[in-house]
Structure 1
Amino acid sequence: MSKPVIVVVGAGPGVSGSVARRFADEGHDVALLGQDQQVLDQLTTDLGARGAAVGHACLDVTDEEAARDAVRRFGEHTGRIDVLHFNPSAFREKDPLSLTVAELLADVALGVGALLTTVQAARPFMSAGARISVTGSMAADQPWERAASLGVQKAGVRNLVHSLDKTLAPDGIRAVSVTVRGSLARQGAFTPDRVADAIWDAVRTPEDEWRSEVPYDG
């Protein structure tokens, strides 16, 4: 297939949906991994109307075998993966004195571990110029103690992005975490569409200007 392909992990109605639409508008075909079949169907219809070929898989991305198989199927079908965008995180309103170890590890498995799973599955289909992007958050640096696991996830996924970028850079593949330093809203600088624009810009950064973390301050 001649069109570039983006795989959106954690596809939903917010930032990830806006990312899928932005890349579709820029000429990408789209593969979606998400948990809500109704949302996936709506996104598929929307993206198809924008001219994109769309595939989707409804699954729990913490199911390593299912997530690997889905990404592999997308790659085998398209022959290429040019961008992998990772969006999932778990919001659990528990402070550090009520959060259990099991809950923390379950949340990290979603917000950090699933990035490993999907990148490893996508790597055989990625070549020089391919990119990995992650929706980061100011919670990595300024955690809200009443949702303690979220800050751990965002700090962890940012750290993993730095390692991925260093590991893949010799092959011409780069990774970036876009740190959203504000609360998502329906209007203003932090709408999902504006964040998606920032992710698009980060992915399009020239190699000689590349940074593995890009802040988005609105």
Structure 2
Amino acid sequence: MTRNVIIAGAGPGVSGSLARIYAEEGSRLGLLGVEQSVLAALTDRVAEAGGSAESVVVDLTDDAATRAAVTQMGEHYGSLDVVHFNPSVFREKDPLALTPDELLADVRLGVGALLTLVQAARPFLGPGARISVTGSMAADKPWFGAASLGVQKAGVRNLVHSLDAVLKNQGIRAVSVTVRGTLTSDGPFTPDRVAAALRAAIDQDEASWATELPYDG
């Protein structure tokens, strides 16, 4: 099925693999990220896989700029079928070294930016549209050495539950996939395998919809 897909926090890892999966189906992609060179490389990958992509360099913590970018893409495509949220911050500081301002800055990207993304996309989302999030086992088993990451992943998963509750009566559903492993270049936790799990979660049966699904490899 051809879809109009926005990927926020697009890069070479899981989000890039998800973009390629949709590209192979002929979907049209809108890519949001902070590095032009990364977006350019991913746009080429999408084209090679048979899809098409528009990209915008944007800091997702900039509310006004992100809203403008999403609105631009929504107006360009006319509607949006899938909105995927990928970013988080890995800051290697334990709770005794992490400052409140650093924690809030990390949560601003890893959780708060999802609000901006969904609110801006909402006018273009109709029945059958889907919101997805790359989750992590850090939500349940945080590593003290990167304390803010667990807070981000727990927070964004919680927010997904609330978004789904608000939107489900309009036929729009939200899901996070909790990746219970560390990304590797081979084995069950490659970006391609995790992206396939995300793709399956997005297309799960609405009659038995789950707002959080684990990926155990």
Match of 2:178 in 1: 179
Identical positions, percent: 62
Taking only aligned residues, the RMSD between alpha carbons, in angstroms, comes to 0.9
Is residue 2:5 matched to residue 1:17? no
Write the distance in 1 (CA, Å) between the matches of 2:77 and 2:165. 27
Write the distance in 2 (CA, Å) between the matches of 1:132 and 1:161. 8
Superposed CA deviations along residues 104-133 of structure 1, whole A, max 9, x for unmatched, are: 000000000000000000000000000000
8 Å CA contact 2:94–2:147 kept in 1: the answer is yes
Write the distance in 1 (CA, Å) between the matches of 2:180 and 2:26. 28
Write the distance in 1 (CA, Å) between the matches of 2:86 and 2:133. 6
Write the distance in 2 (CA, Å) between the matches of 1:203 and 1:210. 10
Amino acid at match of 2:21: R
8 Å CA contact 1:4–1:80 kept in 2: the answer is no
Superposed CA deviations along residues 27-64 of structure 1, whole A, max 9, x for unmatched, are: 31100000111110011111112222210001110000
8 Å CA contact 1:11–1:33 kept in 2: the answer is yes
Write the distance in 1 (CA, Å) between the matches of 2:14 and 2:60. 17
8 Å CA contact 1:136–1:179 kept in 2: the answer is yes
Amino acid at match of 2:48: A
Q: How many residue pairs end up in the alignment?
A: 217
Is residue 2:127 matched to residue 1:128? yes
Write the distance in 2 (CA, Å) between the matches of 1:209 and 1:25. 27
Unpaired runs of 5+ residues, structure 2, are: none
Write the distance in 1 (CA, Å) between the matches of 2:126 and 2:37. 33
Within a 5 Å distance, the mapping from 1:44-193 to structure 2 comes to 44-193=43-192
Write the distance in 2 (CA, Å) between the matches of 1:52 and 1:80. 17
Match of 1:40 in 2: 39
Off by >6 Å, runs of 4+ in structure 1: none
Unpaired runs of 5+ residues, structure 1, are: none
Q: Secondary structure at the match of 2:80?
A: coil
Match of 1:202 in 2: 201
Amino acid at match of 1:60: D
* TM-score of the pair, normalised by structure 1: 0.98
Write the distance in 2 (CA, Å) between the matches of 1:53 and 1:20. 10
* TM-score of the pair, normalised by structure 2: 0.98
8 Å CA contact 2:25–2:51 kept in 1: the answer is no
Amino acid at match of 1:61: L
Deviation, structure 1 residue 70: 0.2
Amino acid at match of 2:175: V
Deviation, structure 1 residue 217: 0.2
